[in-house]
């Protein structure tokens, strides 16, 4: 496979150096793998720290900035960051108001963030954690006990980040983050396999003419394989799976997310089908976001995430945000 890299061993470091050059509003510690908003710590503000394996960009480092994350810890490709990274990030952004760790539900991430929380508290930093587990496709998948954390991570980081920027105390920020996670569900579809730099070839076999329904963001197996379907048929299946679990009684935020190799032309067309299905099911859509936000390197495919919102959550979603990958209202 052709890749725009030097050698696999330096992919993450090279990307962080490039990010630092493109975004002077961030402090990027390439050696220690920590990305921090340059004005941190912000006096009196709860700090949000997240992280995970690289390869899902712009998640998480692309969401560091006012209105969202205070810091992010990128691990190696599809590999959890280590506790030392998380402790370093927490120390860099803690203002004394506490730190919230936003953790996707993968075993390595959960264990390492739990260890980091203990170490940070030993250093006098108050830490709380919220685990994101929104994927309805399967339970107890590869690397996961329970449901996987996917697209809802963006909703949690944005909405809880807005609450923190408004000066909400740690208990309130945690409550908002848990409400968003509990109100969100996702479902992903793969049209092609993912290729990691270290392997240099597809990590699983997905024959031409087939797709995987319920794929994970690391290429974990989904619910089933089928012959290729139309955009409308995929939307029918994916949205039905989400709604059968979420059963919303009010308006939703909709995220139509690309897995990394699907162009916007296709994603917007798929969004039209998602909106059709939601209208047929009588689900009002308050806001829609379309693009590549929680990716899987070069995987072709998409995911749908819905989050039921009340007036307060919608207000926090609309609040100003200024990060490399998400910005409005400033």
CA dist 89 and 41 (Å) reads: 10
Concerning whether 56 is annotated as a catalytic residue, the answer is yes
Q: Do residues 298 and 206 make contact, with C-beta atoms less than 8 angstroms apart? A: no
Please tell me which residue in 23, 56, 60, 240 is annotated as part of the active site. Answer: 56
Q: Do residues 103 and 149 make contact, with C-beta atoms less than 8 angstroms apart? A: yes
Vertex 168: Cα angle to 162 and 173 (nearest 5): 70
Give the Å distances, CA to CA, from 79 to 43, 76, 102, 112, 192: 33, 5, 16, 11, 21
Please tell me which residue in 23, 60, 218, 240 is annotated as part of the active site. Answer: 218
Q: Do residues 46 and 93 make contact, with C-beta atoms less than 8 angstroms apart? A: no
Going through the chain in order, the beta strands assigned E by DSSP cover: 26-29, 34-37, 47-54, 71-77, 99-104, 127-132, 184-190, 210-213, 224-227, 252-258, 285-291, 301-308, 321-322, 327-328
Residue 200: name the closest of 74, 11, 38, 33 by CA: 11
Maximum Cα–Cα distance across the chain? 55
Residue 175: name the closest of 300, 284, 312 by CA: 312
CA dist 236 and 246 (Å) reads: 15
As annotated, the active-site residues are: 56, 218
């Amino acid at each position: 496979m052709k890749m725009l890299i030097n050698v696999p061993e330096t992919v993450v470091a090279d990307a962080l150096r490039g990010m630092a050059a493109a975004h002077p509003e961030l402090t990027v510690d390439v050696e220690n793998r920590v990305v921090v908003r340059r004005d941190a710590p912000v006096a009196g503000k709860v700090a949000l720290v997240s992280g995970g394996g690289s390869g899902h960009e712009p998640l998480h480092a692309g969401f560091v900035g006012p209105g969202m994350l205070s810091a992010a810890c990128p691990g190696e490709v599809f590999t959890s960051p280590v506790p030392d990274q998380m402790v370093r990030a927490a120390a860099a952004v803690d203002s004394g108001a506490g730190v919230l760790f936003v953790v996707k539900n993968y075993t390595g991430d959960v264990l390492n963030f739990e260890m980091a929380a203990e170490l940070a508290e030993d250093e006098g930093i108050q830490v709380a954690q919220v685990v994101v587990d929104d994927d309805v496709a399967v339970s107890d998948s590869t690397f996961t006990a329970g449901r996987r954390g996917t697209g809802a991570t963006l909703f949690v980081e944005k909405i809880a980040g807005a609450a923190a920027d408004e000066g909400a105390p740690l208990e309130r920020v945690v409550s908002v983050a848990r409400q968003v996670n509990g109100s969100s569900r996702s479902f992903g579809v793969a049209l092609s396999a993912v290729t990691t730099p270290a392997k240099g070839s597809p990590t699983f076999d997905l024959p031409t003419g087939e797709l995987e329904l319920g794929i994970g963001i690391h290429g974990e197996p989904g619910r089933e394989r089928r012959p290729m379907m139309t955009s409308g048929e995929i939307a029918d299946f994916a949205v039905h799976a989400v709604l059968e679990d979420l059963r919303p009684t009010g308006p939703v935020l909709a995220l139509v997310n690309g897995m990394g190799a699907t162009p916007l032309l296709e994603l917007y067309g798929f969004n039209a089908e998602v909106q059709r299905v939601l209208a047929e099911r009588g689900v009002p859509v308050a806001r829609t976001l379309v693009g590549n936000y929680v990716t899987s390197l070069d995987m072709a495919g998409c995911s749908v995430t819905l989050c039921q919102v009340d007036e307060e959550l919608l207000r926090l979603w609309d609040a100003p945000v200024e990060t490399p990958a998400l910005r409005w209202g400033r």
